[in-house]
């Protein structure tokens, strides 16, 4: 039986990945913060349905000793490094913690694996934000990086570190350069979940407006459960490489709004209020991914359309709210 260790197991991607690996017969270990264990009904909500099948370890991913002890204890065959500060629009005050969470944590994990489990295969979660203000569109694995946010810079630094461990220490480290991916488990601060949950509230008479920033912003939005399939496939290859994972289709926030409100038979224009605080000074213009390599080498492809995904998110939020009313 293969043993997998997942950082960020209670997040959207971690929870779908844990489900996938359990289905494939893995022993699945995850790292969670002590606060999360103490407030399990909220912070572990994405994995509560799996909790009896998982082996959870309390630790802080940016603390080398903590990670070292967990890797020593688990001795994983595969390690998926998903934990990160993942909200792009943080303020100046958050810069140090974003850099520390995203870079130091990657170092702690790679260094521990190198010392203790050098045969362990590692997945690193890169991001389209590393391309930032990309010079070419769509972007593929050869497109030059040009990050526009501290988040993008932190991910790019960690990505280079991961490559360095692959090239100099001969670790099997594969990196996914993932574009936006959403689901009913998406965090509430991201625009898609903010929209789906507010549409659900409006439908149930619990809200009457939705404040947003730039609704003409464009994103390449995929379906999160599809993206964890790609993560796993990357670690089953003969050689560790980098892969762009994306749908290759751009939609605006306005498109998302229109689809989401149409699920409940409403016109979004009647509910939207612009809030300038949600505009981003360093907004990336049009990140659109070319995932030909993943499609060809991994046999990967998206399974759900944008429209189907939006509908699932809105209907799930309605169901959650109705259950908790
Ligand atoms: N969050 C948010 N809130 N975004 C808004 C709002 C709002 O009220 N109004 C408009 N937007 C626009 C943002 O300006 C951005 O252009 C777009 O909606 C998407 O924003 P987010 O959902 O916050 O995602 P993101 O693109 O910044 O980052 C996500 O995708 C990256 C690429 O995969 C995150 O998941 C990152 O961690 C990830 O790396």
Q: Are strands 172-178 and 121-127 parallel, antiparallel or unpaired?
A: parallel
What is the pLDDT averaged over residues 240-267? 98
State the average pLDDT over residues 9-29: 98
- Residue 88 Cα to ligand 1 midpoint, Å, equals 7
Q: Can you tell me the mean pLDDT for 20-27?
A: 98
Which residue's alpha carbon is nearest to atom 2 within ligand 1? 191
| Distance from residue 174's CA to the centre of ligand 1 (Å) | 25
Which domains does the chain show, CATH number per domain?
3-182+221-245 (3.40.50.720), 191-219+249-324 (3.90.25.10)
Residue 280: predicted pLDDT: 83
Ligand 1 geometric centre to CA of 250 (Å): 14
Residue 285 has pLDDT above 80, yes or no: no
**Looking at residue 90, what is its pLDDT?**
67
The helix, strand and coil proportions of the chain, stated in percent and rounded to the nearest 5, come to: 45, 15, 35
Of all residues in the chain, the percent with pLDDT exceeding 90 is: 87
Residue 31: the pLDDT is: 97
Stretch among 39-43, 91-95, 104-108, 234-238 having the lowest mean pLDDT: 91-95
Query: How far does the centroid of ligand 1 lie from the alpha carbon of residue 229, in Å?
Result: 22
Average pLDDT rounded to a whole number, residues 270-275:
94
Average pLDDT over residues 103-128: 97
| 3 state SS of 25 | coil
Which among 151, 159, 191, 254 is the best mutation to test ligand 1's pocket, defined by most ligand atoms within 8 Å of the CB? 191
Return the ligand 1 atom nearest residue 275 CA. 8
HEC letters along 113-177: HHHHCCCCEEEEEEEHHHCCCCCCCCECCCCCCCCCCHHHHHHHHHHHHHHHHHHHCCCEEEEEE
Q: Is residue 234 scored above 80 in pLDDT?
A: yes
For residue 149, the ligand 1 atom closest to its alpha carbon is 27
Best substitution site from 88, 175, 182, 248 to test ligand 1's pocket, by max atoms within 8 Å of Cβ?
88
Which atom from ligand 1 is nearest to the alpha carbon of 218? 16
- The DSSP code sequence of 46-90 is TTGGGGGG-EEEE--TT-HHHHHHHHHHH--SEEEE------S--
Our CA angle for 213, 215, 216, nearest 5°, is 130
Structure tokens at 39: 């407030």
Work out which ligand 1 atom sits closest to the CA atom of 193.
22
Region 126-151: what's the mean pLDDT? 95
- For the segment 291-313, the average pLDDT, to the nearest whole number, is 98
Distance 286 CA to ligand 1 centre (A): 12
Task: Provide the pLDDT confidence category of residue 317 given band limits of 50, 70 and 90.
Answer: very high
pTM: 0.97
* pLDDT tens-digit readout, 54-97: 999 999 998 999 999 999 999 999 999 999 987 887 666 788 88
Residue 269, pLDDT > 90, answer yes
Question: Which of the listed residues 190, 196, 223, 288 should we mutate to test ligand 1's pocket, taking the one with most ligand atoms within 8 A of CB?
Answer: 190
Span 203-210, average pLDDT: 97
Catalytic positions: 127, 129, 151
Average pLDDT, the chain: 95
Name residues contacting ligand 1 (CB within 6 A).
Answer: 86, 88, 127-129, 178-180, 189-192, 194, 212-215, 217, 219, 253, 278, 280, 283
What angle is formed at CA 50 by the lines to CA 44 and CA 56, rounded to 5 degrees?
60
Q: What's the confidence (pLDDT) of residue 305?
A: 96
**How high is the pLDDT of residue 197?**
98
């Amino acid at each position: 039986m293969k043993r997998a260790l997942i950082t960020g197991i209670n997040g959207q991607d971690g929870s779908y990945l844990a489900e996938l690996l359990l289905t494939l017969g893995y022993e699945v270990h995850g790292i969670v913060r002590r606060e999360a264990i103490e407030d399990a009904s909220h912070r572990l909500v994405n994995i509560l349905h799996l909790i009896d099948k998982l082996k959870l370890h309390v630790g802080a991913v940016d603390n080398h000793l903590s990670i070292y002890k967990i890797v020593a204890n688990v001795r994983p065959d595969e390690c998926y490094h998903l934990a990160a500060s993942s909200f792009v629009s943080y303020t100046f005050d958050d810069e140090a913690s974003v850099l520390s969470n995203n870079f130091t944590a990657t170092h702690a994990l790679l260094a521990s694996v190198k010392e203790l489990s050098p045969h362990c295969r590692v997945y690193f979660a890169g991001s389209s934000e590393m391309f930032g203000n990309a010079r070419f569109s769509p972007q593929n694995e050869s497109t030059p990086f040009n990050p526009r946010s501290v988040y993008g810079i932190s991910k790019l630094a960690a990505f280079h570190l991961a490559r360095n461990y692959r090239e100099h220490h001969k670790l099997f480290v594969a990196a996914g350069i993932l574009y936006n991916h959403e689901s009913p488990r998406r965090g509430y601060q991201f625009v898609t979940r903010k929209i789906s949950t507010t549409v659900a509230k409006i439908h149930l008479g619990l809200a009457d407006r939705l404040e947003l920033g730039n609704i003409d912003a464009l994103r390449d939005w995929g379906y999160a459960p599809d993206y964890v399939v790609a993560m796993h496939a990357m670690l089953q290859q003969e050689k560790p490489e980098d892969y762009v994972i994306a749908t290759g289709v751009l939609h605006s926030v306005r498109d998302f709004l229109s689809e989401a409100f149409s699920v409940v038979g409403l016109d979004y224009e009647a509910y939207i209020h612009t809030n300038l605080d949600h505009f981003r000074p360093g907004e990336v213009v049009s990140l659109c991914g070319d995932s030909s390599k993943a499609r060809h080498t991994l046999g990967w492809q998206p399974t759900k359309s944008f429209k189907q995904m939006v509908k699932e998110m809105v209907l799930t939020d309605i169901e959650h709210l109705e259950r908790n009313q």
